[in-house]
């Protein structure tokens, strides 16, 4: 796996991907889906999601929907870490004060 930018990765077919979500100053309330199907987290804290890159389509996406309550601190946020065959990468983050609380991670199969 190679990180192109904070939300885009080049991967190999069959690669196992691990997404770790760390909640800061917020009770975790996140929904993660891979290729349109919801992925359940491990029971650990922080939450860990795993999925496998399949051969088609060439680009596959992880959708992350974060939620904050009015009681959460204004500086609360979620930080994402992506791990694959070549190591662990710091990905994007979502903060309570952001306009959009959703993000997508793109995994593109390279030859």
Distance CA 84, CA 71 (A): 35
29-60 pLDDT, tens digit per residue, is 999 999 999 999 998 889 999 999 998 899 99
How high is the pLDDT of residue 80? 97
Distance CA 46, CA 50 (A): 13
What pTM, to 2 d.p., does this model score? 0.93
How high is the pLDDT of residue 34? 96
* DSSP class of 96: T
State which residues of the chain have pLDDT below 50.
Answer: none
How high is the pLDDT of residue 110? 94
How high is the pLDDT of residue 73? 96
Domains (range + CATH), the chain = 2-109 (2.60.40)
Per-residue DSSP letters for 63-81?
Answer: EEEE---TTS-TT-EEEEE
For β-strands 8-11 and 37-38, DSSP reports them as: unpaired
How high is the pLDDT of residue 44? 85
Give Cβ neighbours of residue 43 (< 8 Å, ≥ 6 apart): none
How high is the pLDDT of residue 111? 67
């Amino acid at each position: 796996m190679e990180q192109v930018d904070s939300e885009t990765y080049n991967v190999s077919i069959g690669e196992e991907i691990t997404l770790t979500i760390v909640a800061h100053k917020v009770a975790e309330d996140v929904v993660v889906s891979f290729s349109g199907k919801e992925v359940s987290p491990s029971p650990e804290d922080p939450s860990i999601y795993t999925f496998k890159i399949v051969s088609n389509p060439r680009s596959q996406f992880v959708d992350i929907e974060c939620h904050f309550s009015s009681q959460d601190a204004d500086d609360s946020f979620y930080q994402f870490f992506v791990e694959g065959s070549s190591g662990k990468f710091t990905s994007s983050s979502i903060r309570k004060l952001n306009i959009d609380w959703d993000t997508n991670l793109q995994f593109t199969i390279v030859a």
